[in-house]
Structures are given as C-alpha cells and as structure tokens.
Structure 1
C-alpha cells in the first residue's frame, strides 16, 4: 500500500502519490474508462485526487463516480478565473468557482481549493486571498491554497495566507524545491509534473510540444539513468519528486489505471539511494542552478 502522510499542518492525510485528474476530463476518455480509473485509484490506496474547473468534465466525473466514497479521499481543486459573468480573480469569480466545484463533485466542502496560477500582481493586492478566506469561513473550503511557480509561489508561501501549495517539482525543475518548498513545514505541498512530461520519450527535440523545455534540460544535464539505477527514467523521476524534502504528495496525471498502478509500484520502492541523489545534484549544480521553474 502506498505511504500515507500528514499534509503539512492542515489536519489532512494524503498518499505519497496522488491522482492528477486532468486527463479524466478529456473528451476522448469514455465514461467507463473514467470510472475504472477513479475507482481503481482509491482501491489502490490513493487518498488525494486533484482537479480543476478548467479540466473539462473532470469534476463532474469525480462527482458521478466517487460521491459515495467522498469521505475516503482528499479532494483538491483549482479556480478563480475563467468563470462566466465574473471578472478574473474577483470575489465573485472565487465564490462561483468554489460553488461550481461543490456542485460538480457532489461535495459539501472542498478539502483544498487553490487559486489557479494568478499573478504576483494579483496576490500583492490581497483581494483574492480575502475572497478565499470567506469560503473557508463559510465552511465550503477546508484549506486555502495557491497553485503556481517561481516568484508568485514564493510570495504566496511567505504571505501566511495559505495552508497549501501546488507547484512543479521534478529532477528537471528545481527552482521551487530550492527556494520555497519545505521552508514552512506547516504548508501542505503537492508536486505537479513529477515525471517532467517524460521528455525521454523523444529522440529529437519535440518542437512545440509541452515537453520541449524539459527535453532541452535533460540534454543539458547529460544524465544516464543506467548509471543511477535499474528503474528507468519514469520511476527514477517519480521517486525523486515523491520523496523530495517538503513534498507531501506527487500527482500523476493519467487516464490509464495500469499507468497509475505502475507509478504507485515505483514510488513504493522509497527514496532514491544517496549516491543517485548525489549524482543528480552534481549535474544540476553544473548547469541548472539559474533555471526558473517551468510555468
């Protein structure tokens, strides 16, 4: 069974690997496929499911297939912009985002609700945090969170206004890990992109693909997974992220249950051995120290 961890000081408990439910909402995923993945994830010990208003039909499918098991997992969602009839990052947009999440997921409350990558400028005004606080006061949200990277994430973490963060953390993306994650042990941290969009799939630069930047970084680091262990890139990357200092859960985005189960098996092997981590750190120190997080 996958390891369960306290989620900072939020009072919630999450699995070391969670489910990123973005792909669950895509149109080419059938309803039976979505049900099999969602039910299978919980059966395998996953206790965090992460979604967002912008993830197609993800929230509705979570509601349809997991409403009867709602007290067995932590639900996190994201919003605050793109809500019809409301200006982005207004109090109305935050309130409507939470209300839509509750309705779609058939929930009485959202365990963690993240402001979905609003800018540093928006955060500095403070109004959107006030709006999220109002949702906490009304018991519609348990933990207020911020999802983003780089300077905006650092500001959010230091502000004292949030109980949870979601950010990029992987062996090719360490800015958040080195500058933000773990500095406040009370903050629950969800690591997104734990396998760095798997750039090792491509023999040549995947121009225009979301993995292009990570492909370039992988080449610059000049790493050989065979020198680091027998697991291969995906297992290596997932173990790096799931056991990174300050990270409580790493979310795997997939619509394939077998893929998720393979990742759970990989993470169950525990942290990477010290010599592997040392070689990864050495490579990062040579070329990666100035790389910002991929947003």
Structure 2
C-alpha cells in the first residue's frame, strides 16, 4: 500500500489508516479483535489510530500488536480519563500518556493528540508545556490536536503541534478548504477521519438522532448520486478515494469490526485517486452548496 511522508515529522504513514474505535467494543471477542488488528498490518496499513475513550481499544492493541511495534505508526488521544488526575490538567497529560503506554505495552506513542478539547482549553500554556515535556522525555514523538473549526485553525497557526486530525469527506470540507492548506505549508501531518461519512448514503430516510444525520442531509443538497452513477462507482469508492487522495491529507482512517470491510477498503484505495472530471464535479457541487455551511460537523 502507498506510503507517504507524514508532513515534516520524519514518520511515514499509509494512505489508508485503521481507526481502532470499534476494536474496543465489548461485543467483539479477543480473537476477533486480534485477527482484525493483525490483518490490517498484514495488508500494509501502517497507521493505527486509537484513543483513551475507545473502550478496550488501547488494551487490545497492547495484547495483539505490541510485538509488532516497529511495523506501524501508533496514534492515540487523551487529556481526560487519566487515573488520579483531573481532566485537562498537566498531570492528566503526563499520567494519561504513561498509562496509555502501559495499556498498549509500548515504550512510545508516535502521535499523541489532545482530543477535541475546546479552544479555551487548547490554548493553555500549561497543557502545551506538558506535551512538550512528554515529547522531550521520548514518551511521544509528535504532539497533535484532534478537532474541528476554530480550535483546529488555532492549533495549526500556533506552531505548537506537529500534526492534526480532523473530518474530511464529501460532505464535510470546511477544514479541507479553510485549514489544511495552511497545515501543508507549515509541514504538519494530517489524518482525516470520517472519510466515508458514517455511510450516510445507506439510509433511505433521514436517520434522525444518529451520527450520520447531518451528512445524510448534506448529501441530499449536494446531489452527488448522479456524479457517482455516471462514473460507475460505489459510494464507498467515491467517498474513500476522495479523502484518501486529497492533496492535503496524508492518511484517511476508517474504523471497522469486519474483516470483509477492511479488505474492501484496502481494495478501494488500491484503485488510486478519483478521475479528474469526477473531482471537478464534486468541487463544483461543494462550491454551489457546501461553501455556505458553517464549519465541520
């Protein structure tokens, strides 16, 4: 699978990353989780993205992937949920990282994100200093921010972070237009989440109250189905290739608990970028409709 330099971080990541949120689900057995994680690495995926809030994900990465530590880039998130520390404090950063290292049975985390904290928290010098200390101590390699909108823009402009994680997909392009060009110019690594829009296209009617609801509504306005049908593409192929090969994205993470879905995603990215005429039509649809939507979902 194609690998890319992860900005100026000195790391390389695969164009398709593995979102390990669903690996943390209680209903998934240990055998299933281990098979899924190892299959992802076997198929050339070299970015595994997890977080403190993803159930058993970090523990399972430790049990099933720690012996392959040099085969993948490990991305995690925190700032909260650290035992013995108040959320969004310097001890929460330090202890959270140390506890994550123990759970994942590793000596370092390649990319550690402050996880979707608001701007007023993100700007605190004591938290940023705690990240700097962790990096200097070799506990993490890259200090990062995962989030959206104004906080994301501040993180990029601050010069305090080496990478970011944000939503980039057919119906969620605020960051792609407003922030990612600056991130590229500054040499930041960029991880794109939600590339397949929570499969919003699978719902015949508005999925009220579900995560995909806003994406479903936006797809109706963008009218991308005609573009997709004319190009002869499945929805997953249109969506995933759009994000994975976006010029300002280094890796697009997709989460799944299914081996079949994992294999399908690998095959999709092996098809390469979307044709230029398809990209042109998607951009025109976004300029017509999406440019008036405020910020990321």
TM-score by length of 2: 0.96
Q: How far 1:236 moved relative to its partner?
A: 0.5
Change (3 A) 1:125 1:67: closer
CA distance, structure 2, for counterparts of residue 251 and residue 272 of structure 1: 18
Report what 1:248 is aligned to: 250
Indicate the residue corresponding to 2:283 in structure 1.
281
What CA distance in whole angstroms lies between the structure 1 residues aligned with 2:75 and 2:16? 14
Q: What is the CA-CA distance between 1:287 and the residue it aligns to?
A: 1.1
- Give 1:128 shift: 1.3
Give yes or no for the alignment of 1:201 onto 2:202. yes
CA distance in 1, matches of 2:285, 2:202: 20
What does 1:74-113 align with in structure 2 at a 5 Å threshold? 74-113=73-112
Report the equivalent of 1:127: 126
2:293 counterpart residue number: 291
Structure 2 matches for 1:7-26, cutoff 5 A? 7-26=6-25
* Cα RMSD (Å): 1.1
User: What is the DSSP-based 3-state SS (H/G/I as helix, E as strand, rest coil) of the residue aligned with 1:289?
Assistant: helix
Write the distance in 1 (CA, Å) between the matches of 2:96 and 2:292.
35
Question: Does the 8 A contact of 2:83 with 2:96 survive in 1?
Answer: no
For the residues of structure 2 that align with 1:71 and 1:80, how far apart are their CA atoms?
Answer: 25
C-alpha deviations, 1:101-160, integer Å up to 9, x for none? Answer: 100110000000000011111122322111111100110000000000111000000100
| Alignment partners' CA distance in 1, 2:79 and 2:147 | 13
Farther off after superposition, 140-149 or 229-238: 229-238
Q: CA deviation at 1:182?
A: 3.1
SS of structure 2 residue aligned to 1:28: coil
- For residues 260 and 129 of structure 1, the distance between their equivalents in structure 2, rounded to whole angstroms, comes to 35
User: Tell me, which stretches of 5 or more residues in structure 2 are unaligned?
Assistant: none
Aligned length, in residue pairs: 294
Distance between the aligned counterparts of 2:142 and 2:41, measured in 1?
A: 21
1:218 corresponds to which residue? 219
CA contact (8 A) 1:17 1:251 kept: yes
Rounded to whole Å, the distance in 1 between the matches of 2:157 and 2:220 is: 34
**1:228, CA displacement in angstroms?**
4.7
| Secondary structure class of the residue paired with 1:183 | helix
Q: Distance in 1 between matches of 2:292 and 2:127?
A: 30
Query: For 1:251, what is the secondary structure of its paired residue?
Result: strand
| 1:171 correspondence with 2:173 | no
3-state secondary structure, aligned to 1:27: coil
Work out whether residues 47 and 73 of structure 1, in 8 Å CA contact, stay in contact via their aligned partners in 2.
yes
- Secondary structure of the residue aligned to 2:192 is strand
Distance 1:226 1:246, change over 3 A: closer
The ranges of structure 1 where at least 4 consecutive aligned residues each deviate by more than 3 angstroms after the TM superposition are 225-228, 292-295
Distance 2:161 2:271 in 1: 32
Other-structure match for 1:53: 52
Give yes or no for contact 1:182–1:245 (8 Å, CA) kept in 2: no
- Deviation per CA, 1:71-127, whole angstroms, max 9, x where unpaired? 110000000013343222110111111011100110000000000011111122322
